[in-house]
Structure 1
Amino acid sequence: MLSVRDAHARVIAAFEALPAEMVSIADAAGRVLAAPATARLTQPPADLSAMDGYAVRAADVPSTPGTLTLVGQAPAGGSYDHVLKAGETVRIFTGGPLPQGADAVVIQEDTKADGTQITILDAPRQGRHIRKAGLDFKVGDQALKAGRTLSTRDVALAAAMNLPWLSVHRKPRVAILSTGDELVMPGEPVGRNQIISSSGIAVAALVRGWGGEPTLFDIARDDAALIESRIAAGAQHDLLITLGGASVGDHDLVQAALKAQGFSMDFWRIAMRPGKPLMFAAKDRARVLGLPGNPVSTMICALLFLKPAIERMLAQPGDLVATQPARLAVDLKQNDQREDYVRSTLSRAADGALTVAPHPVQDSSMLSVLANASGLLVRPAHDPARTKGETVQIVDLASLPGGY
């Protein structure tokens, strides 16, 4: 069986960045920049006041108190369009442009006004309370680099840079196909020997959260011709996800349907738990990732293989999910030949250390355990027995993007 890392490497090697498209700045949050965002103006465009007060020449008030003559004002959106002369001051407000000749601002609390006579009570320092031109960014600055996933803060910055449109990578279009006579959708009548199909809905939510556009097909019954037609439709997308039917039993029809349409099987078993029956196939530019049917296996395999594939299509590295150290809260027996992703609870010990306690039942059908887990304990293949207090590697589920 293929290792998780070898399978991951094969999957991400099959994908490349999707073409760019232009989107409105209002729709850019969460998208991945395909080209740098370059400022079209300088911000601030001139030296501005950072406070309400008076614009002065610092040399005019070497000591306090000192009195200056008020000759005008510079509100935000307005200006004093004369050179400030010796002994003069201008009333200025936050965001107002500094008059030519002024080199400091005295806040209004440090002044006393008597008509046009303004007494300065605190000696100004050159540059005090001034936002210099270009303090934030200058025209031509590439403040946001290509490959960046845009946050709301980034969108605010791009808007301030006077960018109404941004070049971003097209969202990966991902088709999702669940197969099996035993499946029904939530809310439908559940017959004898039938179960609710939850994996497709979960994968669609993950695709959306990770930056793709999901298309959730109707459940395909165990009919070879029907499955072939759905595969043909799904192959028109950037990626087709199949759920179930990827093993080698008599009723597992997905592999046969793929082979009938000319797809080549890269692999169909990996050494991990949960998720051994994972499949990857290709035909020309079409890619198919076959996830296990059990919902917990689906979710964990999606994290390890689907998320990196989507990231690659968005011009990102597509690395395996990151792990971090934690202290084991219980003893563990030796692991077998499969890398294990153990649903666990993370907590903080009295000394502040992160600890991990595996859930006592790890059945891959138990969504309640995964939903209530705060972490995954990652045990390598053939990991020896571990004792309470040892350092192990975990995935912190709360830190994952996309609402996992």
Structure 2
Amino acid sequence: MKFDRVIMVDWSGGNDRGATPKKDAIWAAIGAGGVSEPPIYFRNRQVAEGWLRDMLTDLRDQGLRVLLAFDLCFAYPTGFATHLIGSEDTLGLWDWFAARVEDSSNANNRFDLAGDINALFPGVGPFWFNGLQRDIQGLPRKGNDRRDHGLPEKRAADLAIKGSFSPWQLAGAGAVGGQVIMGLPTLSRLRHHFGADICVWPFQSPDAQIVMAETYFSQLPDLVTASPEPIKDAAQVALYARAFSALTPDEMDAMIDVAPTPEGWVLGAGSADILRASLAPPALRNDCFAMPQGAYWTPVDTALAHLRDQLGAVTDVAEVPIGQATHRILAEDIYAARSHPPAPNSAVDGYGFAGPIPAGTHDLPLLAGRSAAGQPYTHAVPPGTAIRILTGANLPQGVDTVILQEDVAATETRIAFRGPLKKGSNARDAGEDMRKGDVILSAGHKITSADIGTMAAAGVGHIKVRERLRVGILSTGDELRDPGTPAHEGQIFDANRPMLCAVVADWGYEVIDLGRAPDDRPKLRAILDEASARCDVILSSGGASAGDEDHMSALLADTGSFALWRIAMKPGRPLALGLWKDTPVFGLPGNPVAAMVCTLIFARPALRQLAGGGWADTEGYLLPAAFAKSKKAGRREYLRARVADGRVEVFASEGSGRVSGLSWATGLVELDDPAQKVTPGDLVRFIPFGNFAL
């Protein structure tokens, strides 16, 4: 079965959310062939329903086959419909709700209707969580206040998906019950509006032009978290529009081949691996580097914001043991598999007993035996007695306080010491560091050696990480020669390529040395063709302006994706950006200092985002200047600098060809865009190279 378009909808039971896009609202996205259009925000159900009706009409009239999937329960547990309408006719139940739900943009009757429905059942329930300040007869505020209503808590479809919620919970974190009540009338109206052109899976055979289905948007949580979309709901609809529209007809047939039951089913349940496999990293849009019309000299902050907003992860996901994960980027949140410490234990070598201990001298009998790490004392310690305990050992039953052995006079049978001693002294609570189920590291985090220890302590053995970003490094120009080889007059050694290879390796990415390209357009084209198949991104230096020998810019211009950014900065200025067969290319300046500065300022955060790590701003520090300088308005300047005696001094020359200044420096001074006169002692922003992860 093949669909020409896939529409994914995230519904909401709340009131009008306003004109500005927000979370916990209604979002939709259209996918085709594994690509999603930008997600669409709807401020309320009335606007969303009108858009759905118009969009479906347009797609139907074009003769396109459509899958319309909602993150919304289409049915309730068995027995509910029979009690309300006399049969397990799920689509009839939709009509029953459509006739009784009252809905406007800023008010609805979902809580009152739930109370009325509860009154039709024995006991109390099944609906719960009155989200209003006023009480509603028959609608409890807590789930454990329900009893004897006679219905299951979840459907079989809900039980098949980890983390799903019961449709009876009307409000609260993660609740779906309110949006179900407010969604079924919309489904009913769409069904009647399109008549024979629409069907509802799995209750009806999926052979109409439009197929409505229920899905669940939490089957690929790591990919949602890694999305560049700042609002989770928007990220979800776009991700699932991509995933379902990328399925082959056979894969879609296998998902739809489900026996119909009154409880329905969740499209894609149990098929997370298939959905994940369908999701090749999304291609960047062809216009992702295009600045707004009229932008000529682009401020640094504008250029950075454009990269942040337009770039997304292009790397796949792999599972690795934690020992192989250093410098990799997490693809999903990491949860503690066990609390740390797993049981209350001692922070010191000493003696344990029940506290608190008042002031004065104390003498306690000492039990035979001890509690040691890995060899806990397995008996209870009676009140008024003590037990020998070592650092890291579990506290036996009856022990909550430990005294240092240095503060105790001990014999084989007794200990003596002076109080006072607070209850809990020198003792660690179970889980005081990490509790089982806690998020200990978040998706997008770059793993350090310390993180390996954290995960190991929490019992985590394997994790899902992003594949290493493959970064191609290319130098262009007939004048370049490899270091250590003969160079004639008019030729120079290629400093950029080895320098940038080292920088990219320091950042933990896979370096692909693409060598040197001559000033020959066909040869450069062949190099780019080969590189695009091996690399996720290409950093090229030289040929990035608009001169006769700027072949990189010329070739990128032919792709329709080219953008020549004239950055209002020194050193730097020209950045040539574009896509070569969907592979992003950053054309850096040819001068080594300019190439390095542009790499640190622009390429570092962009590569991190492409690698799946999210955007990374670089922090600096205000320190007094040991130099004087006057700069003009309209551009940002970066000076090679280092700190001596608590003051920042700058390299003697600002020339971007003076590469030795990079070795002399330990960081950069950033002078902002406005005109500025710096005198010794003025505070300036200093960014150490270490803050660029070098």
Q: Structure 1 residues 300, 81: closer, same or farther in 2, change over 3 A?
A: same
Give a deviation string over 1:280-319, Cα, whole Å, max 9, x none.
1125632111001111110011112111211212444535
Which residue in the other structure is 1:258 paired with? 556
**Which residue type is aligned with residue 675 of structure 2?**
D
TM alignment of 1:342-381, pairs within 5 A: 342-348=639-645, 355-381=647-673
Give a deviation string over 1:224-267, Cα, whole Å, max 9, x none.
2211011112223221111112222222222233345x252112
Give a deviation string over 1:331-366, Cα, whole Å, max 9, x none.
4334265432222343446xxxxx444433211111
Which residue in the other structure is 1:8 paired with? 304
Deviation of 1:158 after TM superposition, in Å, equals: 0.8
Q: Structure 1 residues 287, 62: closer, same or farther in 2, change over 3 A?
A: closer
Which residue in the other structure is 2:474 paired with? 177
Identity rate of aligned residues, in percent?
A: 31
Give a deviation string over 1:39-83, Cα, whole Å, max 9, x none.
111222222222223333448999634241423222221122222
**Which residue type is aligned with residue 537 of structure 2?**
L
Residues 1:383 and 2:681 aligned together: no
TM alignment of 1:21-60, pairs within 5 A: 21-58=318-355
Q: Distance in 2 between matches of 1:60 and 1:323?
A: 50
Deviation of 1:274 after TM superposition, in Å, equals: 1.6
TM alignment of 1:4-403, pairs within 5 A: 4-17=300-313, 18-58=315-355, 64-86=361-383, 88-115=385-412, 117-123=413-419, 125-236=422-533, 237-260=535-558, 262-283=559-580, 285-318=582-615, 321-335=618-632, 337-348=634-645, 355-381=647-673, 383-384=675-676, 386-389=677-680, 391=682, 393-403=684-694
**Which residue type is aligned with residue 374 of structure 1?**
T
8 Å CA contact 2:564–2:574 kept in 1: the answer is no
Structure number with greater Rg is: 2
Bigger mean CA deviation after superposition, 91-100 or 197-206: 91-100
Instruction: Select the structure that is richer in helix.
Output: 2
Counterpart of 1:269 in 2: which secondary structure?
strand
Counterpart of 1:85 in 2: which secondary structure?
coil
Q: Distance in 2 between matches of 1:333 and 1:54?
A: 68
Q: Distance in 1 between matches of 2:689 and 2:519?
A: 37
**Which residue type is aligned with residue 135 of structure 1?**
E
Q: Structure 1 residues 81, 294: closer, same or farther in 2, change over 3 A?
A: same
Which residue in the other structure is 2:283 paired with? none
Q: Distance in 2 between matches of 1:95 and 1:382?
A: 58
Which residue in the other structure is 2:109 paired with? none
**TM-score, normalized by length of structure 1?**
0.87
Q: Distance in 2 between matches of 1:111 and 1:396?
A: 52
Q: Distance in 2 between matches of 1:81 and 1:255?
A: 74
Q: Distance in 2 between matches of 1:325 and 1:84?
A: 57
Q: Distance in 1 between matches of 2:348 and 2:624?
A: 51
Q: Distance in 1 between matches of 2:379 and 2:576?
A: 74
**TM-score, normalized by length of structure 2?**
0.53
Q: Distance in 2 between matches of 1:159 and 1:398?
A: 31
Q: Relative contact order: is structure 1 or structure 2 higher (C-alpha 8 Å, sep ≥ 6)?
A: 1
Q: Structure 1 residues 130, 368: closer, same or farther in 2, change over 3 A?
A: same
Q: Distance in 1 between matches of 2:600 and 2:525?
A: 27
Q: Distance in 1 between matches of 2:357 and 2:376?
A: 21
Aligned length: 395
Bigger mean CA deviation after superposition, 266-275 or 195-204: 266-275
